Amino acid sequence: MADMDDIEVIAFGEIDDGVLRDMAAAVGGVLGADVHPGRSLPIPTGSCEPRRGQYHAQRFLEALADRGRQGGAIMLGVTGLDLFVPRLNFVFGAADRSRRVAVISLARLDAGFYGEMPDAGVLRERAVKEAVHEIGHILGLDHCRDPACIMFFSQTIADTDAKGPGFCEICRWKMAGSA
């Protein structure tokens, strides 16, 4: 498993600074890492799939990898756009372990997406869970069978809401054993 070093959070397009700050602080607390903001990036050229009305997550990962990094930092992109990968209708996020980059989408994490009243607290909690999940992949973890573990694969927002912000005992053991 890779060393964590620190985490750089990078906005793609317009993301509320408060959401980014709150998310970065909470992610740092869960992972015990130094999480800091990086320079924002534009939406990657060619990432929009007009037929789907969504954006290809891989293009965001490539943009992060192309940007370069300070030291060995993990780079976490955050966008408000709806992301997808081939063979899936949507993704809350995606990671590239070898390049130490990940991206999350706030689009489907926002209660407003489901016709509910927007709730900044719920959005923050969901964003933290998704960020920790994707960073877990960068650190060498695969999906977990425990629905309460942060590494459980979320097929729905209910799956995300049901899992905790931390790792189950088995995933913590895997992380500790590979460090």
CATH number for the domain that contains residue 41: 3.40.390.10
- pLDDT tier, 5 (very low <50, low <70, confident <90, very high otherwise): low
In a domain, 13, yes or no: yes
In a domain, 157, yes or no: no
pLDDT at 91: 97
The one-letter code for the residue type at 93 is: G
Give mean pLDDT, residues 157-167: 94
What span, in angstroms and rounded, lies between the C-alpha atoms of 165 and 148?
9
- pLDDT tier, 90 (very low <50, low <70, confident <90, very high otherwise): very high
What span, in angstroms and rounded, lies between the C-alpha atoms of 170 and 141?
10
- pLDDT tier, 2 (very low <50, low <70, confident <90, very high otherwise): very low
The pair of structure tokens assigned to 118 is: 């927007």
What span, in angstroms and rounded, lies between the C-alpha atoms of 81 and 175?
31
Check pLDDT > 70 for residue 138: yes
The pair of structure tokens assigned to 20 is: 């980014």
Ramachandran region of residue 162, left (φ > 0), alpha (ψ -120 to 50) or beta?
A: alpha
Distances in Å between the Cα of 117 and the Cα atoms of 19, 51, 110, 112 are: 17, 28, 9, 6
**Which H or E element spans position 178?**
helix 169-178
User: What is the domain extent for residue 109?
Assistant: 6-143
Phi first, then psi: give them for residue 96, nearest 5 degrees: -125, 100
First to last CA, the chain: 6
In a domain, 148, yes or no: no
Give mean pLDDT, residues 157-178: 90
Q: How far is CA 135 from the centre of its chain?
A: 7
pLDDT at 30: 87
Asked about 62 being catalytic, the answer comes back as no
pLDDT at 99: 93
Check pLDDT > 90 for residue 165: no
Strand partners, 96: 101
In a domain, 1, yes or no: no
pLDDT at 81: 98
Check pLDDT > 70 for residue 71: no
Catalytic site residue from 125, 130, 134, 169: 134
Strand partners, 54: 49
- Kindly report, residue by residue over 9-51, the tens digit of the pLDDT: 999 998 988 888 888 998 898 888 899 888 899 999 999 999 9
Total count of domains within the chain? 1
